[in-house]
Amino acid sequence: MVFPFTAIVGQEQMKLGLTLNVIDPGIGGLLIMGEKGTGKSTAVRSLAELLPEIGVSRGCAFNCDPDGTALCSICAERVVKEGALKRETKKMRVVELPLGITEDRLVGTLDIEHALKHGEKRFEPGILADANRNFLYVDEVNLLEDHIIDLLLDSAAMGQNSVEREGVSFSHPARFILVGTMNPEEGDLRPQLMDRFGLCVHVESIRDKNLRIEILKRRSRFDDDPDGFFESVQSDQQVLSDEIIRSREHLAKVDFSEEILAKIVGITTEIHVDGHRSDIVILRAAKALASFRGRNNITTRDIGDVVPLALNHRLKRAPFEDAGSGRKKVEELLKRLDQD
Amino acid sequence: MSFCKLVGHKDAKLALILNLIDPGIGGVLLVGDKGTGKSTLARAVPRLLPERVPYVEVPLNVTEDALMGSINLEEAIRSGEHIFQPGLLARSQGGVLYIDDVNLLNVDMLNLVLNKHAFGNTTLPGNLIPSNSDFGFSLVASMNPEEGPISPKLIDHFGLCALFQTPANNGEKLRVLRLSSQNDPAEKRFIRFDARLKERIALARKLLKQVEVPAEHRAYAVETCLESGIEGHRGDIALERAARAYAAFCGSSVVTKEHMKKVLPLALVHRRREAGINQEEYQEQELPERENSSQQEQADSNNNETPDRDSGNNCCEAAVKPQSVEGHSKEEVFPVGNPFDVRRLLFQRDWVERCSSGRRTNTRFSGKGGRYVKSVFNSKVNDIAADATLRVAAPWQIQRGRTRNVIVYDEDLRFKQREKKMGHLVIFVVDCSGSMGAKKRMIETKGAVLSLLMDCYHKRDKVSLIAFRKDRAEIILPPTTSVDFASRKLKEVPVGGKTPLSAALFTTSNLIKQIRIKDPLIRFVVAIVSDCRANQGISDMPVREEVSKSAAILRDARNTDFIVVDTEDKSTLMRMDLARSLASELHADYFTTEDLKAEYLAGLVFNRKL
């Protein structure tokens, strides 16, 4: 049993980053940088626990969405043959990516022995198959082999895993919420890869004494009587879960003005962020946040709240420059945004 | 061996007992030198467990299958049914899981164990493994830090930690010796003790949930953790739980401050901020020495000015302990000089198969990635080369009676040999002695090291920094891929004192040895950046001789290449070219800082011998 999400004290930025990604997985995942023992892993697992079950195509190794259009090769064939897919419901899971993973375990590969001995091509699903429509949690993403991160972020961006190797040609949807953690002291993540994560938060342990006591209290109540503790926060959990479902459905209705777009572009131009990804992410995240707050339009406040998450890891710096200077700039920009 | 019979180590015993009372504390890590009884004590734990409670040891070569359980293949083939064979973790459920030499265990496996311990159910790739089994076990691990480091992140997962030291007083040593030779009759007494302890633990377990933690003591736990600057929240939690378990053990239904204080060292000793501690130790070591060092420096600079000093003079200096003398420190921190593009450094490829990435040197690759170079008969990975296999099988098809499918026998199978680029682990051994301070040579040297670091960044090498000065060499940065972090460390390095070159060479060989235990295939590059004017020994041997001997030891390290960057000022009459002779002793590539620059030797390619 995992500690309930709504009972986690503090770490608001991390919780916000996760929630926005759940509302709109298109945001592109969350990179959590920071200290050990700050509840990174707990937050992800408990959020998955809180979310409602998802409908999947029955018996499909790739958790295809029976109502969706993105289907794996097998389900697509089945739709053609049988007209519709049978469904079942499954709990969302947190699929973990082990550090020493190989390329073929990640993307899947041709079951070559089977192919050679029986003359049939059979696809052996990899971790990306498991991760479809789930969370993919990569602990210490900075220590992962370069080519693995490349592959991972590629399929995250495409929402699809296409395997073309050893004569097998197979593709299946791979839409997952990518959550990576890293401790920057143990190694760098190339800026190009960092950029692929939609949002990024820094977590630190809480220094406020009273909050820390509260953490201890809740933790000990949870450890003594997990069921009882769950019951006590059940209504909060339900509220959040409902909110998320509502926000997802409402998402398409959120609108934005030209003025808002100009503001976003203004910010990213001023601090010289490379590429367009940051603009797109800010807009998507602000949209998700507006929807979460029950509004039909994006406000300046929404933007102000998501900008730090979207720019934390995109601030440009020379290879050996310290990270602090850029962050100050963002803070100043946000202050100005408030005044406008 | 009886649990109670083991002499001393009260901390460790208490930690183990508390962890049995409340496995949720998060496990116990026993840290100590070899032969101090860590494993003996851990293996005595079953004596305290109720009957039929499992006690499982994790071997170092454990595989994921063995830990998590797997499908019984034989059964699957025979009956066509998937029968699940439980792994070590499942077998330890409700009992104790013990990992000896945990720092040598594969990191992925350790992560798996720690995750299971913290979260019970994590989902595993592959749908066949039942996900409803709940693993609750108490975790015990032991390690000898000499054998290799373990990441602070992993250490933090352990709730409690107890340090084992060889007892300082002879009385305790004598008791150990006496008891070790005793035979059966006395053993019975200890068996009784164990049984009593077992009962007490069982009682404490029952009492545990009723034990209350008063608000002020909870606040005390938080304050203590805040004050000692501990990262994360695991410290608070472990401290409170341990205090609670201890209260239960004492038969008290309320946690008191004494309970808290008793378990405090166990819960926090391994969580203190590592970098911070090093920094403090660093400074502590420096302060008392500061006065002494100025004399050394004077001697040092005198030596520099008298080029005709003989080595006999040096060895005297090394043997004589520095005396205290008046004067102020000349210690200085120099800025980093301008970096430049480094010429291409080439290392010969070897024939070891690895599973690593990077961009420096070609290597055979043991995984399924990389370029398919040729097909071979056997391979550890099941990476079949279809083209080659078919070519082998093709001529026999008629004889084998092929109708539709190609008939392939096991002996036809061919596997892919793959190649990839890899990065190295580059260990920078940087001279920070007083002589480097002369004419701001350190600025230029730091610039050269920074340039090499940037080259390492491009080639995706790992780097490590060893600085030597005064009477010792220190690893100021353990291996990391963060070149950024390394360059920051480089900035901070102070200069001053003598040149303990042999200490540096020894430290380097030891570091290589330690890392090799964990990762035997890694390729090392040792980059020695110094003028090599050694004048501080670590033994009674003459300094020059000591340097040659330690160089000979270092040279024999496998999979290691050497570079010597000479920082001596070549324009003066005082040049000694000692770095050149060290380079020839190490069979190293020799550069002056000038030759390192790309434009000087562009196009000229040196192929190294291995």
| Cα dihedral B108, B111, B113, B115 sign | negative
A212 and B404 within 8 Å at the Cβ level: the answer is no
Q: What is the mean pLDDT of residues A138-157?
A: 81
| Cα dihedral B56, B60, B61, B67 sign | positive
Q: What is the mean pLDDT of residues B124-149?
A: 62
The Cα–Cα gap between B476 and B467 comes to 7
How many CB atoms sit inside 10 A of residue B394's CB? 13
Cβ-nearest to B386 among A112, A183, A220: A112
Give DSSP secondary structure letters for A206-221.
---HHHHHHHHHHHHH
Task: Say yes or no: A126 and A266 in one domain.
Answer: no
Cβ-nearest to A220 among B240, B355, B450: B240
The whole-number pLDDT of residue B282 equals 31
The CATH number given to whatever domain includes residue A273 is 1.10.8.80
The Cα–Cα gap between A301 and B26 comes to 42
Per the document, the length of chain A is 340
Burial of A236 (C-beta count, 10 Å sphere; 0-12/13-18/19+): middle
The whole-number pLDDT of residue B344 equals 67
Does the pLDDT of residue B245 top 90, yes or no?
yes
Q: Are B557 and B512 in contact (CB under 8 A)?
A: yes
Q: What is the mean pLDDT of residues B415-429?
A: 83
Q: What is the mean pLDDT of residues B526-530?
A: 92
Q: Which of B587, B593, B589, B544 is nearest to B564 (CA)?
A: B589
Q: What is the mean pLDDT of residues B415-444?
A: 82
Task: Say yes or no: A101 and A174 in one domain.
Answer: yes
The Cα–Cα gap between A292 and A20 comes to 8
The whole-number pLDDT of residue B74 equals 61
The Cα–Cα gap between A203 and A201 comes to 6
The Cα–Cα gap between B112 and B106 comes to 10
- In this predicted structure, which of A186-200, A232-246, B9-23, B501-515 has the lowest mean pLDDT? A186-200
Backbone region of residue B7 per phi and psi (left: phi > 0; alpha: psi in -120 to 50; beta: other values) = beta
* Chosen from B151, B153, B217, B453 to mutate, greatest number of chain A CBs within 10 A: B153
Give the nearest chain A residue to B157 (CA atoms): A37
Does the pLDDT of residue B333 top 70, yes or no?
yes
The Cα–Cα gap between B475 and B465 comes to 6
Chain A residues near residue B240 by CB distance under 8 angstroms = 216, 220
The whole-number pLDDT of residue A246 equals 93
When pLDDT is cut at 50, 70 and 90, the band that residue B319 belongs to is: very low
Cβ-nearest to B219 among A93, A127, A213: A213
The whole-number pLDDT of residue B134 equals 45
Does the pLDDT of residue A165 top 70, yes or no?
no
Does the pLDDT of residue A166 top 70, yes or no?
no
Interface ipTM above 0.90 = no
Q: What is the mean pLDDT of residues A7-20?
A: 93
- In this predicted structure, which of A152-166, A248-262, B38-52 has the lowest mean pLDDT? A152-166
When pLDDT is cut at 50, 70 and 90, the band that residue B299 belongs to is: very low
B108 and A105 within 8 Å at the Cβ level: the answer is no
Residue predicted with more confidence, A220 or A184: A220
When pLDDT is cut at 50, 70 and 90, the band that residue A14 belongs to is: very high
The whole-number pLDDT of residue B594 equals 79
Side-chain-facing half-sphere of B244: CA atoms under 13 Å:
29
pLDDT per residue over B44-69, tens digit each? 888 888 878 889 999 887 877 788 87
- Count how many domains chain A has: 2
The CATH number given to whatever domain includes residue A41 is 3.40.50.300
The whole-number pLDDT of residue A114 equals 66
Distance, in angstroms, between A120 CA and closest chain B CA?
A: 9
The 3-state secondary structure of A79-135 reads HHHHCCCCEEEECCCEEECCCCCCHHHHHCEECHHHHHHHCCCCEECCHHHHHCCCE
Strands A160-165 and A168-173: antiparallel
Q: Are B135 and B91 in contact (CB under 8 A)?
A: no
Say how many Å lie between the first and final Cα of chain B, rounded.
50
A113 and B384 within 8 Å at the Cβ level: the answer is yes
Q: What is the mean pLDDT of residues B219-231?
A: 87
Give DSSP secondary structure letters for B329-387.
---EEPPPPPP-PBPPP-------EE----SSEEEEE-SS-SEEEEEES--SS--B-HH
Q: What is the mean pLDDT of residues B345-365?
A: 71
A216 and B221 within 8 Å at the Cβ level: the answer is yes
Residue predicted with more confidence, B203 or B135: B203
Task: Say yes or no: A191 and A308 in one domain.
Answer: no
Query: What does residue B13 show for φ and ψ, rounded to 5 degrees?
Result: -60, -45
The whole-number pLDDT of residue A201 equals 92
Q: Is residue A306 part of a domain?
A: yes
Helix (H, G, I), strand (E, B) or coil at A18: helix
Does the pLDDT of residue B112 top 70, yes or no?
yes
* Chosen from B231, B381, B383, B421 to mutate, greatest number of chain A CBs within 10 A: B231
The DSSP bridge partners found for residue A165 are A168
Interface contacts (A, B; CB < 8 Å): 152
Going from the C-alpha of B502 to that of each of B40, B235, B434, B567, the distances in angstroms are 37, 40, 16, 17
The whole-number pLDDT of residue B598 equals 60
The Cα–Cα gap between B64 and B68 comes to 6
Buried b (16+ CB within 10 A) or exposed e, B300-314: beebbeeeeeeeeeb
The Cα–Cα gap between A75 and A81 comes to 10
Considering chain A, what is the average pLDDT of its residues? 84
SS3 content of chain A, % helix, strand, coil (to 5): 55, 15, 30
- In this predicted structure, which of A21-30, B207-216, B412-421, B585-594 has the lowest mean pLDDT? B412-421
Q: Are A85 and A57 in contact (CB under 8 A)?
A: yes
The Cα–Cα gap between A136 and A304 comes to 28
The Cα–Cα gap between B522 and B559 comes to 7
The whole-number pLDDT of residue B154 equals 85
| Cα dihedral B86, B87, B89, B91 sign | positive
The whole-number pLDDT of residue B19 equals 92
Does the pLDDT of residue A297 top 80, yes or no?
yes
B125 and A127 within 8 Å at the Cβ level: the answer is yes
Strands B84-85 and A177-182: unpaired
Does the pLDDT of residue B325 top 60, yes or no?
no
Q: Is residue A115 part of a domain?
A: yes
Chain A residues near residue B119 by CB distance under 8 angstroms = 2, 41, 45
Task: Say yes or no: A31 and A147 in one domain.
Answer: yes
Q: What is the mean pLDDT of residues B149-153?
A: 76
Chain B residues near residue A183 by CB distance under 8 angstroms = 153
The whole-number pLDDT of residue B116 equals 81
Does the pLDDT of residue B310 top 50, yes or no?
no
Side-chain-facing half-sphere of A180: CA atoms under 13 Å:
26
The Cα–Cα gap between B302 and B438 comes to 12
The Cα–Cα gap between B279 and B288 comes to 15
Residue predicted with more confidence, B314 or A3: A3
Query: Does CATH place domain B10-166+177-208 in 3.30.300.210?
Result: no
- Per DSSP, B597 falls in state B
The whole-number pLDDT of residue A122 equals 75
A96 and B233 within 8 Å at the Cβ level: the answer is no
What is the share, in percent, of chain A residues with pLDDT greater than 70? 89
Does the pLDDT of residue B159 top 70, yes or no?
yes
- In this predicted structure, which of B118-127, B416-425, B586-595 has the lowest mean pLDDT? B118-127
Q: Which of A45, A218, A277, A284 is catalytic?
A: A277
Does the pLDDT of residue B603 top 60, yes or no?
no
Distance, in angstroms, between B38 CA and closest chain A CA?
A: 27
Task: Say yes or no: A175 and A268 in one domain.
Answer: no
Give the nearest chain B residue to A100 (CA atoms): B108
Going from the C-alpha of A263 to that of each of A292, A297, A300, B270, the distances in angstroms are 21, 14, 8, 48
What is the share, in percent, of chain B residues with pLDDT greater than 70? 79
Residue predicted with more confidence, A43 or A1: A43
Task: Say yes or no: A269 and A151 in one domain.
Answer: no
A104 and B457 within 8 Å at the Cβ level: the answer is no
Task: Say yes or no: A140 and A40 in one domain.
Answer: yes
With 0.80 as the threshold, say if the pTM is over it.
no
The whole-number pLDDT of residue B428 equals 92
Per the document, the length of chain B is 610
Q: What is the mean pLDDT of residues B361-371?
A: 71
* Chosen from B25, B236, B409, B414 to mutate, greatest number of chain A CBs within 10 A: B236
Tell me the range of A251-255, B284-288, B537-541 where mean pLDDT is highest: A251-255
User: Helix A209-224 to helix A226-250 angle, to the nearest 10 degrees?
Assistant: 110
Helix (H, G, I), strand (E, B) or coil at A205: coil
Q: Which residues contact B459 (CB under 8 A, 6 or more apart)?
A: B358, B359, B360, B423, B424
Helix (H, G, I), strand (E, B) or coil at A40: helix
Chain A residues near residue B406 by CB distance under 8 angstroms = 116, 119
When pLDDT is cut at 50, 70 and 90, the band that residue B610 belongs to is: very low
Does the pLDDT of residue B526 top 90, yes or no?
yes
Does the pLDDT of residue B315 top 60, yes or no?
no
Domain range list for chain B: 10-166+177-208, 332-347+424-601, 366-419
When pLDDT is cut at 50, 70 and 90, the band that residue B385 belongs to is: confident
Residue predicted with more confidence, B297 or A51: A51
Does the pLDDT of residue B118 top 90, yes or no?
no
Range of the domain at A302: 252-339
Q: Is residue A224 part of a domain?
A: no
Does the pLDDT of residue B320 top 60, yes or no?
no
- In this predicted structure, which of A60-74, A294-308, B80-94 has the lowest mean pLDDT? B80-94
The Cα–Cα gap between A229 and A221 comes to 7
Chain A residues near residue B404 by CB distance under 8 angstroms = 119
The whole-number pLDDT of residue B335 equals 79
Q: Which of B206, B221, B241 is nearest to B27 (CA)?
A: B241
Query: Does CATH place domain B332-347+424-601 in 3.40.50.410?
Result: yes
When pLDDT is cut at 50, 70 and 90, the band that residue B203 belongs to is: very high
